[in-house]
Amino acid sequence: MSSAPSAQGPLVVGVDSSTQSTKVLVVDAATGQVVASGQAPHRVSSGEGRESDPREWWEALCAALEQCGPVAREAAAVSVAGQQHGLVTLGKDGAPVRPALLWNDVRSAAQARTLLERFGGTKEWADRVGSVPGPSSTVTKWAWLTEHEPAAARATSAVRLPHDYLTERLTGLATTDRGDVSGTGWWASAPETYDEEILGMVGLDPALLPRVARPGEIVGTVRGDSALPFSKGTLVAPGTGDNAAAALGLGLRPGTPVLSLGTSGTVYAVSERRPSDPTGTVAGFADARGAWLPLACTLNCTLAVDRVAALLRLDREAVEPGGTVTLLPYLDGERTPDLPHASGMVHGLRHDTTPGQLLQAAYDGAVHSLLGALDLVLDEDADRSSPLLLIGGGARGAAWQNTVRRLSGRPVQVPRAQELVALGAAAQAAGVLTGEDPGAIARRWGTAHGPVLDPVERDEAALARISRVLSDAAPLTKAVRQGE
């Protein structure tokens, strides 16, 4: 995929409103060529929780589009992809009641345990909504809010996800999509409807929630009073969550495994089968097309490894082989394994351990968590020897690539296309123009094309060492899980 200064077909805009910034691509719908791009940051609180003011997302979207120049006004359609799970609470005036609780805010761990117990245990939850509730789930965040900030909950007239909030500001209409809503914990995955029993249990009126749009539906048009540089009447696609958008951006076919290295790390694959994992390791998300996107996520990925590198005063690529040290980089708690109150752990440190070996151990700990969930994500008949698609901010780092190859024993393919979440949103926008499957559009654009790195022998010794440390720490981690 390449960029070009001129377009051959209609233009579309894809938006990626992520945890720390908003990225915008103006894309030629016929060729996939990026003709303009922009990016603007927004703040995340660094206090007890992880929160952002949704109005900053809108301001960042305006700023990023402004950087794209006049071609943004020529766009025929737009789609917004956003970070999943965030709880956006709006008052009667449409303004946020309080900052949004983000996906990596783990303060609702206690509420997750309570909901699990009140509603029949892990199997009931997995069968009902596809996923076992954890502190990242939107339903547990709402339960936390009603318990700790009841006045804010009472003042809430609308509950939205991050991408819903931005789409509604574009159109004036309250909509979401199946891909993003499947991560809330209050959407029943078999009938594909809001689960009113769960909503009743947490005291949330379904009238406060947006309508779930169908894949490929035009959910509205850009309002004439929008501050954004779109022409009035520009079509708006349903949008989706960031992982579902990345799957669209890759044009994923069922069974192809993806390992995404970002602030969080994820492994996922498209499946035709509705997922249900009672262990809670795999989230049974829907995708944005009508299929499913079983996914496992770790809280600690590139950000945690970069923090270890900074503490050691090393470049992030300054890893060294050898040694016996194991590092579990649970700097922000952890989601896989389910340890929301955990901190990092170093085991096997010796006089001859080098800083580079300690840094490599941080990479190993992060990748081990992801690979441990991969077999659960894939269907039983999936090819376990096919290349892993490696995406996200860490995908082009040699240390990340080599660690994934060494611990997986599989070939690794690194797509040349960047900003796959925004590209997926752009493919969705192109789909509402042409009526095509967005995945087919992305495959035509060639977004997944890139070099394939040959497999290397799997490092069984490192895998066994990490597993042994996890096993030895089991009594401690059980207490940490319970917040003791």
Q: Which residues are catalytic?
A: 242
Which residue bears the tokens 């574009």? 170
Residue 359 vs residues 154, 226, 362: alpha-carbon distances, Å = 47, 48, 5
CA–CA distance, 86 with 467 (Å, rounded to integer): 32
- Hey, which bits of 204-332 come out as E strands? 211-213, 220-221, 235-236, 240-241, 258-261, 265-268, 283-286, 292-298, 326-328
Q: Is the dihedral of CA 170, 26, 268, 461 positive or negative?
A: negative
Residues ≥6 apart with Cβ < 8 Å to 254? 269, 270, 271, 272, 291, 379
d(CA 282, CA 299): 14
Query: φ, ψ for residue 41 (rounded to 5)?
Result: -85, 160
List C-alpha distances in Å: 220 to 32, 199, 302: 24, 27, 37
The answer to whether 272 and 254 have CB atoms below 8 angstroms apart is: yes
Please give the radius of gyration of the chain, using alpha carbons only, rounded to the nearest integer. Answer: 22
Q: And the tokens for 282?
A: 């795999």
Q: In what helix (H) or strand (E) does residue 320 lie, and over which residues does it extend?
A: none
Q: Is 11 left (phi over 0), alpha (psi -120 to 50) or beta?
A: beta
